[in-house]
Amino acid sequence: MGSDPQYAKYPLLPLAQHIFTLTNPSAPKAIQQTSLKSLQDAISEHKMAPLYRYLAHPVEGILNATGEASSKPTPAPLGRKPSAAGMVASKHSIPKIDLPWDDAVYEKLKKENDEELEGFKREEEEAAEKAGETEVQAARGKRAEFWARVGDKDRAIAAYEEVFEKTGVLGTKIDLVLAIIRMGLFYGDKLLVKKHVDRAKALVESGGDWDRRNRLKAYQGLYLLMVRSYALAAPLLLDSLSTFTSYELCTYSSLVVYSVLAGSVSLKRVDFKSKVVDAPEIKAILGDGEDKLLALSGALSAGPGADEEMKDISSATPSTAKTAVNLTNLGSDQPEAEAAVDFSPLAQLVGSLYTGSYRSFFGALAAVEVNFLTQDRYLYEHRGWFVREMRLRAYQQLLQSYRVVGLESMANDFGVSVDFLDRDLAKFIAAERIPCTIDRVTGKGIIETNRPDDKNKQYNDVVRQGDQLITKLQKYGQAVRLRGSERA
């Protein structure tokens, strides 16, 4: 059995979402005001002087291009303004945020930080004189958590690394690396996250316990989601649903959203049925009526009956379809309770895609974009790609069943105009994502699929790969002859 997770409380990742919301033009004003208050309260409660400076400083701050100093003027510091690309919704233009700079507030917070650091220093010195290495390590760990709590990325990572070097316990080493990953997630530093996800994987493979292996799955899945590797993220996130304990990373409802979106866009139809549509953990959130009760009680499972016909979720009554669910605070140490989430657009997206209700699917996809993709800091950057890939998936699913389809008939099925469908399909056909042709010249408006059989496809692949190999060999031969003539 492994020890309980350590260093799991800080940084407070919900604050990063609040910062994103403040800069998100798609966020409702009421939500932005709530996020601003939560951010201000957290800065005051946790004495986050470094984060306050990083965000609100008149010269260095990423949110306030022109701040209002309430006391003495602040001199311009040397160096470049810190990058805000990983924390804000727009990399190019950051809107004016009502987070004014106050020198008196900053100095007060900084003074309290200095006093707390002095206390850690005394504790470490006393431990070195009167106690053993365990107590010294505990004092170092407190200092590392302090820097993570107040939002100083560089000092927190350096302190975590110092503790890492001095400890020999594998479980503690893994917890320290996971803490560094969360610092990278807080500031949107993808390179830092990738480096330490790989580091954590190596540590876990060297003998990590079951709990930390499961926790790492969620970390890996979230990182892959950030870099748009949805196909790799989906199995990790879906596997994490039944054993999720990484509440320091995200809430359970967020994990459900990430899992469903990743699975919907990347899984084959059979896997989509068993792992998303019929998964009991997802039905407990997205299901309606009896299905939800059975999933919550544990009586429902995606076993032998996974291939049975699924009810059309989109046909649920409004009272059940719009039920707001909140199962997210189980085991959570986050400082604030999460508002109930309306999962009905997500449920309708899953149900309509699987049952082929394409008109409902397009409406659900638009609602998912508005309610989830544009509001979440991990999904926002890839929202356009996701919507495009989901449209492609729906087109492929319908065209796979027919040799010839009328353009007007298909447009009616999707609830869009013929011109829009023509333009949209043309992009995918040109990119060789859909094997079909559209005939609008004769006025018939026919879509004809031209899927090659397996043998022809294999033959064409061999010919293409052979041509590429011959070209490379010719270039290699020319290079060798040139070098030979130079030697002669």
Among residues 262, 265, 264, 259, the alpha carbon closest in space to that of 282 is found at 259
What is the span of the domain harbouring residue 478?
462-487
Tell me what the mean pLDDT of segment 254-265 comes to: 95
Instruction: Give the integer Cα–Cα distance in Å for 30 and 425.
Output: 39
Residue 307: inside a domain: no
Note whether residue 351 is domain-resident.
Answer: no
Tell me whether strands 446-449 and 341-342 are parallel, antiparallel or unpaired: unpaired
In this structure, are residues 8 and 333 in contact, taking their beta carbons and an 8 Å threshold?
A: yes
| Number of structural domains in the chain | 2
Note the pLDDT tens digit of each residue in 323-348: 344 444 444 444 455 567 889 999 99
Residue 54 lies in a domain: yes
Amino acid 439: pLDDT: 81
Identity of the highest mean pLDDT range in 33-47, 290-304, 435-449: 33-47
pLDDT for the residue numbered 163: 93
The alpha carbon of 406 is separated from its chain's Cα centroid by a whole number of angstroms, namely: 38
- Single-letter code of the amino acid located at 448: E
In the predicted structure, residue 32 carries a pLDDT above the cut 80: yes
- Per-residue pLDDT, averaged over 466-479, amounts to 85
- 207-226: average pLDDT: 92
Span 442-466, mean pLDDT? 76
Q: What's the pLDDT tens digit per position in 45-67?
A: 999 999 999 998 888 888 865 44
Mean pLDDT of 361-382: 94
Output the pLDDT for position 487. Answer: 57
Strand, coil or helix: what is 449?
Answer: strand
Window from 123-132, 406-415, 419-428 with minimum mean pLDDT = 123-132
**Reduced to 3 states, what is the DSSP secondary structure of residue 405?**
strand
pTM comes to: 0.81
Mean pLDDT of the chain: 82
The answer to whether position 7 is within a domain reads no
Q: Is the pLDDT of residue 315 over 50?
A: no
Whether pLDDT at 488 is above 70? no
- Residue 486's pLDDT band, with cuts at 50, 70 and 90, is low
CB contact at 8 A, 276 and 310: no
The identity of residue 254, as a single letter, is: S
Structure tokens belonging to residue 142? 């407190």
Domain edge (last residue) among 201, 234, 262: 262
| Domain endpoint, select from 240, 262, 284 | 262
> Which of 262, 279, 294 corresponds to the end of one domain?
262
Question: Does 145 reside within a domain?
Answer: yes
**Residues 99, 56: contact at Cβ < 8 Å?**
yes
Does some domain include residue 214? yes
Q: In this structure, is residue 36 part of a structural domain?
A: yes
> Which CATH number covers residue 244?
1.25.40.570
249 falls within a domain: yes
- The neighbouring-strand residues paired with 439 are 446
